[in-house]
Structure 1
Amino acid sequence: MIKLIREHLSTKIFIITVCLLITVGSAIYGMVALGMSRSYFLELDRSLSNQTEKMVLQLSNTSVQEIDGVKKMFALEHGISIVLKDSDEKVLGIYGDMEYSLAPGTDVEDILLGSGITESYSCKLTNGKTYWIQVFGNKEKVNIGLESLKRILPMLGAITFLAALAIAALYTKYITRSILKVSEVSKKMANLDFRVRYTEDRRDEIGILGENLNELSEKLESALDELKEKNTDLEKSIKLEQQLEQQQMAFFSAVSHELKTPITILKGQIQGMLLEVGGYKDRDRYLKRSFEVANSMENMVQEILYVSKIRTSGFELKLIDIPLHQLVENVIKEQEDMAIDRGLQFHIRIEESTWIRADEALFTKVISNVVGNAIKYTNEDGNIWVGVYKRGEEIIFWIENETESIDEKEIPKLCDAFYRIDKSRNKRTGGSGLGLYITKMILEQHQFPYCIENTEKGIKVEIRCYEPTRRLL
């Protein structure tokens, strides 16, 4: 019970209200009982005073023989007792209720002293003597009223108790309904549920508190959503950072592996020449081979430095408007000799005035890598198709070469660092293994979509660029 009272506001208010109502009812009952006797006596004194004064005036014109009749009639009429005394305080007669209640041999003076005098008046009769008249009120009516109150006390108490319970229940429900609603809202807010709202229509302090809770709930919900969004972004950033770190570790591992092979070859050739072992006695021949290996290592180091430059956190693109049609034509001219040596034929379809917004040096590297790969992997005496055209707000560059199809599972790996389908890595197809990887990085920096796919003729690469006006948006 104590725990119930401590933990529930409605129980506290209900008990306090019942106690207050019972206390007030008891106080009212006591005041009625006390006030009844006091008000009766006051009224009795006032009435007797008026009537007695009239009787005294009447007695002044009455003889001694007629006085008894007048006093008896007056006492019976008003339900009081009258005592007549002479000037020496000697009792001459008693009239009214007191006259009939005296037992034989009773000391009248003791009775008078114990009863108390309501009023005392002096009266001079026609014989010239002065008499004292003492008037005593009757408490019987008051006693009857008090007895009646005592008899109805149990019923009155029961009614008061039930009324107190009913009133306390209604009052408690009215007072605590809004408070309990506020408590419910705050409890759900504590559990991070900010969808609940205070809906009571009140304009007092509790209503203001409910509105403040609604406003707080909205702000907390907004802050929580924002926090969740930032947390999601942070998780994505952490995940991306982890992926970049893994890619970096994989990249450096691949770099170590790629450099290890030519270094081992170069070391073996130089050692063989120094010791003049077998065929290594022909130094001119193996010096040329060593030079080719060193040159290959130099190209690879340059590509690695290029990758490192792009992946630097402070790296920024130098975007300008460049004519893509001229850039593609220049790259093809630079690598045309390599194509001629392998008997390859270029088929060029380039639209004029195809401008894009990009980093000129980096995008030149992209076109050079893609064209170089096409030349390197096209079949002997094969064909290469190159095109640039406008499609809506996009500028499309594509290149297709005659070669064997690639397994669909291998296509997503083509742009990985040091990945080459040709495992033999012979002189025709051997390279740093970073060309397409660098191409992918540059295109991602520019946010240019690209795709590599098999066709009926061979392999096709398509890059979607944006016009300068679209890029500026």
Structure 2
Amino acid sequence: MRRRGITFKIFIITTILLVVSALLIYLTLYFMLPGYYKNIKQSRLETGVNELIKAIDGKPAKEALPLMSQFGQEHNAWLNLRDKNGWVYDISPNFMRFNNGLIGDGGFPGIRRQIISGRTNEGRGGLDRKNHMLSVERTIHFAESNEAFTLSIDAPLQPIDEASEVILRFLPYMLIAILLIAIGGAAIYSRLIARPLIGLNNVARRLATLDFDMPEAPLKSSDEIGELSQNLSKLASNLQATMAELQNANAQLKDDIVREREQEAKRREFVATISHELKTPITAVSGQLEAMIGNIGIYRDRDTYLRQSYKIMRDMDKLVHEILDLSKLESRDFLPLMREVDLAELVRESIESMSYLADVKSMQIESSLPTEAFIVADERLMAKAVANIVCNAVQYSGEGERVTIKLAEIRQSSVGEEFALVQRLYKLEVLNTGVQLDEAKLTRLFDPFYRVEQSRSRTTGGSGLGLYIVSKVLDAHGAEYGIANTPEGVKFSLLLQAA
């Protein structure tokens, strides 16, 4: 039994209560029983005497004396009659028969008669009348005489006094029994009461350490302890569910924080790149204009460098428009203007716009297109995305290479909860040969301002926003897309829902 534990405390308190209660009961019996017994016996004696007086007063002596003898037997009392001359006639409890005598002519024959001097207790064992006797006196008359007699009744209290003395002498033995019973009862009681509380304490301790496994079944009782056990079980279940939700929310929050940090880093990189992309041409144009204004060296040929400055400004204008398009695409309020658009026609227009550059690079553009391929899309944005895809394929292929463009309708099955659904899709594939990209770089091609060629020279590439704009447009249309290396070159694939 753990010291200062609840079992120990209940055991000590219960033992003390049992011992004190038993001693109080025992001492109460010892001190209060004699007085209580005396009062009860006095009350019964007086009641019996009153009933006796009613029964014998005014009756003949031969009828009254047996009743008085019977009263003495029932109440273990001594009775006597005293006349006016002081003669006392003892009526023994065993007296039942007498001769017909006349009161005043020799008294009651068969009854011991004596003259009293004061009030003696001769023939009564020498009992202390004050402490061991209950005495009652009444005046009665008999039918044989007009003389009044005094009836005295004495009831001994010695039996209860002896019982009190026996109780006091038996106290040491009772103390041993009381201690044994108290200790044994307290041990059993404390274990019965403390066991469920200890179990609940163990459950609460495990809950405090966020251990929500509950091997202990709730107590099957209808009292407050059973209700507490069921509530703890419900608390564990609710806490476990809540902790799982909090962990999921925490994980989601961590992911959001990581994503936010990545986005913030991308924003900083985006701003820095924009600053670089704008600062470099502005510096070049400013330098050329300043040199032309000062007629310095080769810049006296103003027509040549004005055309170069104009070309740089056009590139800057294109970059600014691309940035504005991205701003619209990334806006939360952006909603594409969706309507039916012929994707095949958009591809033809893009091929036609890139035919001049292809001829300059001695490249072949091969296409396999249906007559029409209607989709639901924002025409302006989709045209820009398709143009960027075709432009990238032509721009980043070497001279004499080939660009193959295929657009075809396919059917794709998807299994629902009740039935299979067949979807009509258009698949666009753009393959440029003679090029292979590092696999690690393929996943970054859709990042803003990312270019495979790190020198960022305008002579070898654009701003690096083309495929990023493509990804934003296709994401807004719910399309599936990707870039992969093939044995022939690099292929861009796109899947769009048919109208």
Instruction: Give me the whole-angstrom Cα distance separating, in 2, the residues matched to 1:400 and 1:147.
Output: 122
Instruction: Give me the whole-angstrom Cα distance separating, in 2, the residues matched to 1:112 and 1:424.
Output: 135
- Select the residue among 112, 135, 155 that pairs with 1:118: 135
Q: 2:288 corresponds to which residue? A: 269
Q: 1:439 corresponds to which residue? A: 470
Tell me the CA shift for residue 372 of structure 1. 0.2
Assess, with a 3 A threshold, how the Cα gap between structure 1 residues 59 and 24 changes in structure 2: closer, same or farther.
Answer: farther
Q: Counterpart of 2:430 in 1: which secondary structure?
A: strand
Q: Is the 8 A contact 1:182 1:198 kept in 2?
A: no
Q: Is the 8 A contact 2:80 2:152 kept in 1?
A: yes
Q: 2:171 corresponds to which residue? A: 153
Q: 2:418 corresponds to which residue? A: none
Q: 1:408 corresponds to which residue? A: 439
- Select the residue among 145, 159, 181 that pairs with 1:163: 181
Q: 1:364 corresponds to which residue? A: 383
Q: Is the 8 A contact 2:75 2:155 kept in 1?
A: no
Cα deviations by residue, 1:15-72 (Å, 9 ceiling, x for unpaired): 554454445434543555544744994699499969x99999999469xxxx9xxx99
Tell me the CA shift for residue 387 of structure 1. 1.6
Q: 1:318 corresponds to which residue? A: 337
Q: Counterpart of 1:378 in 2: which secondary structure?
A: coil
After superposition, residues 299-448 of structure 1 pair within 5 angstroms as: 299-350=318-369, 354-389=373-408, 390=410, 392=412, 393=423, 394-423=425-454, 429-448=460-479
Assess, with a 3 A threshold, how the Cα gap between structure 1 residues 15 and 357 changes in structure 2: closer, same or farther.
Answer: farther
Tell me the CA shift for residue 401 of structure 1. 0.8
Cα deviations by residue, 1:259-305 (Å, 9 ceiling, x for unpaired): 22222222232223223233222222222222222222222222222
Letter of the 1:149 partner, please give it.
I
Structure 2 residue 105 is the aligned partner of structure 1 residue 87: no
Instruction: Give me the whole-angstrom Cα distance separating, in 2, the residues matched to 1:409 and 1:114.
Output: 118
Assess, with a 3 A threshold, how the Cα gap between structure 1 residues 458 and 153 changes in structure 2: closer, same or farther.
Answer: same
Tell me the CA shift for residue 397 of structure 1. 1.9
Q: 1:287 corresponds to which residue? A: 306
Instruction: Give me the whole-angstrom Cα distance separating, in 1, the residues matched to 2:227 and 2:359.
Output: 86
Structure 2 residue 265 is the aligned partner of structure 1 residue 246: yes
Letter of the 2:394 partner, please give it.
I
Q: Counterpart of 1:462 in 2: which secondary structure?
A: strand
Assess, with a 3 A threshold, how the Cα gap between structure 1 residues 40 and 268 changes in structure 2: closer, same or farther.
Answer: closer
Assess, with a 3 A threshold, how the Cα gap between structure 1 residues 353 and 31 changes in structure 2: closer, same or farther.
Answer: farther
Instruction: Give me the whole-angstrom Cα distance separating, in 2, the residues matched to 1:204 and 1:76.
Output: 57
- Select the residue among 294, 311, 317 that pairs with 1:298: 317
Instruction: Give me the whole-angstrom Cα distance separating, in 2, the residues matched to 1:288 and 1:246.
Output: 37
Gap regions ≥5 residues in structure 1:
103-107, 469-473
Instruction: Give me the whole-angstrom Cα distance separating, in 1, the residues matched to 2:84 and 2:334.
Output: 134
Gap regions ≥5 residues in structure 2:
89-113, 413-422
Letter of the 2:360 partner, please give it.
D
Aligned length: 448
**What TM-score does the superposition give when structure 2 sets the normalisation length?**
0.72
**What TM-score does the superposition give when structure 1 sets the normalisation length?**
0.75
Q: Is the 8 A contact 1:344 1:383 kept in 2?
A: yes
Q: Counterpart of 2:177 in 1: which secondary structure?
A: helix
Cα deviations by residue, 1:221-251 (Å, 9 ceiling, x for unpaired): 5444444444443333333222222111101
Tell me the CA shift for residue 257 of structure 1. 1.5
Q: Is the 8 A contact 1:376 1:428 kept in 2?
A: no
Q: Cα RMSD over matched residues?
A: 4.5
Instruction: Give me the whole-angstrom Cα distance separating, in 1, the residues matched to 2:449 and 2:78.
Output: 135
Instruction: Give me the whole-angstrom Cα distance separating, in 1, the residues matched to 2:131 and 2:299.
Output: 156
Q: Counterpart of 2:290 in 1: which secondary structure?
A: helix
Percent identical among aligned pairs is 28
